Amino acid sequence: MPSELPPTEVELAEWNALTREQQIARYREYFAHPDCEAFTADTPEEILAAARAQVAARRRG
């Protein structure tokens, strides 16, 4: 499934082992989640900056 973090080698191999139709089905399922229907006034740049800050905080422990 999509993640804000880069995939591990194992995850990437598993994803690549799926057919194109299976990959598309996974994305459709992911984007059908109610959380994906939330609207925001944030710009894409603000969303990206917030995601990067969360990743950095996780890496620091």
Question: What does the alpha-carbon distance between residue 5 and residue 12 come to, in Å, rounded to a whole number?
Answer: 12
Supply the pLDDT for residue 1: 64
Nearest to 59 by CA among 10, 22, 4, 11: 4
**2-59 pLDDT tens trace:** 677 888 999 999 999 999 999 999 999 988 988 888 888 999 999 999 999 999 998 8
Task: Provide the whole-model pTM.
Answer: 0.55
- The residue written with tokens 């944030």 in the block is 42
Question: What does the alpha-carbon distance between residue 35 and residue 3 come to, in Å, rounded to a whole number?
Answer: 14
Question: What does the alpha-carbon distance between residue 23 and residue 46 come to, in Å, rounded to a whole number?
Answer: 28
